[in-house]
Amino acid sequence: MIWGTIIAAYLFLAGLSAGAYLTSSYVARKYPEAKAVRITGRIISPVLMAIGLLLLILDAEAGLKHPLRFIYLFTNFNSVMTIGTYFISFFMLAAAYTALMEILKKETNKYVEYAGMLFAVATAIYTGFLIGVVAAVPIWNTAILPILFVVSAMSTGIAGTMLVASFYDSKAVHRMLGVKKIHLGLLSAEVFLIFTMFLVTSYSNESAAESVATLVSGEYSTIFWIGLILVGLVLPIAVESFELYNDKKMKETEAGIMMAAAGQGGIAGTLVTESSVLVGGFILRFLLLAAAVPVPFL
């Protein structure tokens, strides 16, 4: 493994943090009555980002043994990591400010929030570019990877926000059909992107083909098919689809309309869906790091 599990966790938490911030901003505009969901997304966003950065610092190769590397991160403008460091720094400031305003129950400056949304997207993209610029690893060095990481960041951000918020206001979570539809679209897009990336990269060279084979039929095939595809993607897609279909059928009856308006519905589907998505989001990043096969130097 070129980079370890800690880096996989860092990439996962950074994407999740960005996705949670964007989810809360969307909910604030689309569902202003869902205060619990909005507040949840805004508070967990900087917390998750801070945990991810702490993991990065504690990782021996990331700078614990070489603390001066962090100063270099802010000065080497030819490096993707330097650009990403600024993205994350600005995003962290905006996210922390937004969370503080929620805690103090004060109105958030809209320009700061807009800047936070911009840097949240930049942070999600950066998590893909961070490993995507490594030309020596073909499975990483593809234009599809940053797109995949952005989609996954949005998906896990929705999942994390909804999962936590469901313990405070399950009715509001159940009523947010627009978010559920977006989530279903993101999960479906993730499946498409994963297999498209595998198909494209597997024909590029022998190292790329070896990486893909390791995932689909080799050492990591069990965790790939069961952990990522089945649990992390197929299961939440099936549950989300069933809930949307069931909600449509409910609205065709008078009793169902009253239940939908009241936000009544089981929370089990939400817990299963969102937990599965979070598990799949981490596994995705872990597998991409674990299965990396560099091009051999002659």
Which has the higher per-residue pLDDT, 220 or 296?
220
Residue-wise pLDDT tens digits, 6-17:
889 999 999 999
Whole-number pLDDT of residue 63 = 52
The pLDDT of 253-275, averaged and rounded, is 63
Give percent above pLDDT 90 in the chain: 58
**Rounded distance, CA 286 to CA 224, Å?**
10
pLDDT (average), residues 213-221: 93
Q: Determine whether 253 is exposed, middle or buried from the number of CB atoms within 10 Å of its CB (0-12, 13-18, 19+).
A: exposed
Cα–Cα distance for residue pair 282/15, rounded to 1 Å: 10
Contacts of residue 185, Cβ cutoff 8 Å, sequence gap at least 6: none
Residue-level pLDDT at 170: 82
Checking if the pLDDT of 178 tops 80, the result is yes
The token duo for 118 is: 């911009």
pLDDT tens digits, residue range 18-34? 999 999 999 999 999 99
**What gap in Å lies between CA 39 and CA 145, rounded to an integer?**
31
Identify the band that residue 2 occupies on the pLDDT scale cut at 50, 70 and 90. low
**CA atoms of 33 and 188, how far apart (whole Å):** 28
**Helices then strands (H, E): number in the chain?**
13, 0
Q: Which 3 state secondary structure label does DSSP give 97?
A: helix
Q: For residue 250, what pLDDT is reported?
A: 60
Can you list the domains of the chain with their CATH numbers? 5-290 (1.20.1630.10)
Tokens at 97, concatenated:
């400010």
Here the tokens at position 192 are 């498409």
**Tens of pLDDT, residues 61-95:** 545 556 566 666 666 666 677 888 889 999 999 99
pLDDT band at residue 260, thresholds of 50, 70 and 90? very low
Q: Nearest CA to 88 among 18, 37, 28, 139?
A: 18
Q: Is the pLDDT of residue 261 over 50?
A: no
For residue 253, pLDDT over 70 is answered with no
Q: Residue 263 has what pLDDT?
A: 47
Average pLDDT over residues 107-112: 93
pLDDT for the residue numbered 298: 40
Q: What is the phi/psi pair of residue 104, to 5°?
A: -80, -5
CA atoms within 13 A on the CB side of 259: 14
Q: What is the mean pLDDT of the chain?
A: 86
76-105 burial code (b ≥16 CB/10 A, e <16): eeeeeeebbbebbebbbebbbbbbebbeee
Distance CA 181, CA 15 (A): 20
Share above pLDDT 70 across residues of the chain, in percent, rounded to a whole number: 84
Q: Compute the distance between CA of residue 39 and CA of residue 101 in angstroms, rounded to an integer.
A: 10
User: How far apart (Å, rounded) are the C-alpha atoms in residues 155 and 171?
Assistant: 21
Q: Which residue has the higher pLDDT, 38 or 60?
A: 38
Residue linked to tokens 């279903």? 184
Q: What does residue 77 show for φ and ψ, rounded to 5 degrees?
A: -75, 0
Report residue 143 CA to chain centroid gap: 18
Identify the pLDDT of residue 150.
96
What pLDDT does residue 42 have?
96
Write the CA distances from 228 to 51, 84, 195, 222, 281, integer angstroms.
Answer: 23, 27, 12, 9, 8
* Exposed / middle / buried, residue 259 (Cβ in 10 Å: 0-12, 13-18, 19+): middle
What is the distance of C-alpha 170 from the center of its chain?
A: 22
Instruction: Locate 295 and state its tokens.
Output: 């091009």
pLDDT of 96 reads 97
